[in-house]
Structure 1
């Protein structure tokens, strides 16, 4: 094969020299390279320092936008707004103001939760626990909790899961008790519910 027709595609000597030069400059960076790195670092630092959050009317508008989509407890709303706000104190003041004007209401959130949890077959203990996680005082719906027929609620749930038959088998009885306890019902309501006959 004639070398003139097939010139070398890669100049290995030149490539080797280039790699050695790059290795040297990585081990001994020039002043210019160091300056460039420092400039990049300071630029990144400036960007994080200048990161601004919402405040004033923009924060207020965002709070309204959040509340139009979903009801939030006071504690939840503070946490949500604080993620984007310039000042946590401003958020707390704003949320207090929104609560005073009834745009935000823990009472409404508690009532919505009570209704939703009852539909899902949850008992009073689970409902109180759900309210606690949202930092809502269960006293806000104390009257509704008291007025609810928890025996009927537990009975309907038991019927959906196990049917109307009142079992005498202690193992099945224990299973039903555990199921209703897990759902948040009190023992008194559970015993009445699993002993209740269809025509009672």
Structure 2
């Protein structure tokens, strides 16, 4: 009597066209960094060298682009009110070189982003007591803004 778990493989081993079709299916759903796509494909691939060649081909044909992925992440994080430090963490999580996001990051007025976030959450008035001020500072720090920008934002008056 043989065990059923020994006779069937735990996962399929893709090669050739099947691996290529799987890669295209993944990329059709969302952007992946090269490292993420490699890790995902290796879960199903039979050969690591074949995956590396496929990734190079996809990258050369611009189906996969770390630069495009970096830009998408930056825009997504900004829409969610996150600052440069949180964006940097997200880039590291996806194993994308920070330099690829530099052009997108350089265009952003971080003071204006932080100010709009502060106004949306706490209103336009300057905090009068230390407890409220500390709460605003913690909120903006958690969102990834630098302390010099935070201090300007929490003390900002419209007519300054």
Instruction: Return the alpha-carbon distance in structure 2 between the equivalents of residues 133 and 174 of structure 1.
Output: 29
The aligned residue for residue 10 of structure 1 is none
The aligned residue for residue 62 of structure 1 is 22
Unaligned ranges ≥5, structure 2:
none
Instruction: Return the alpha-carbon distance in structure 2 between the equivalents of residues 105 and 59 of structure 1.
Output: 19
Q: Deviations over 1:98-132 (max 9, x none)?
A: 11111100111110111110000000000010010
**1:197 Cα deviation from its structure 2 partner:** 1.4
Q: Across the two proteins, how many residue pairs are aligned to each other?
A: 160
The aligned residue for residue 45 of structure 1 is 6
The aligned residue for residue 76 of structure 2 is 116
The aligned residue for residue 102 of structure 2 is 142
Instruction: Return the alpha-carbon distance in structure 2 between the equivalents of residues 161 and 45 of structure 1.
Output: 57
Q: CA RMSD in A?
A: 1.7
- Out of 58, 67, 73, the residue aligned to residue 33 of structure 2 is 73
* CA separation of 1:63 and 1:164: change in aligned 2, threshold 3 A: same
Instruction: Return the alpha-carbon distance in structure 1 between the equivalents of residues 107 and 158 of structure 2.
Output: 23
**1:164 Cα deviation from its structure 2 partner:** 0.1
**Which is higher, the Rg of structure 1 or of structure 2?**
1
**1:192 Cα deviation from its structure 2 partner:** 1.1
TM-score, normalised relative to structure 2: 0.92
Instruction: Return the alpha-carbon distance in structure 1 between the equivalents of residues 78 and 6 of structure 2.
Output: 51
**1:47 Cα deviation from its structure 2 partner:** 2.9
**1:198 Cα deviation from its structure 2 partner:** 2.8
TM-score, normalised relative to structure 1: 0.75
**1:144 Cα deviation from its structure 2 partner:** 2.2
Instruction: Return the alpha-carbon distance in structure 2 between the equivalents of residues 48 and 69 of structure 1.
Output: 27
Unaligned ranges ≥5, structure 1:
1-36
The aligned residue for residue 133 of structure 2 is 173
Pair 1:95-2:55 in alignment = yes
- Out of 139, 142, 147, the residue aligned to residue 187 of structure 1 is 147
85-94 or 176-185, larger mean C-alpha shift: 85-94
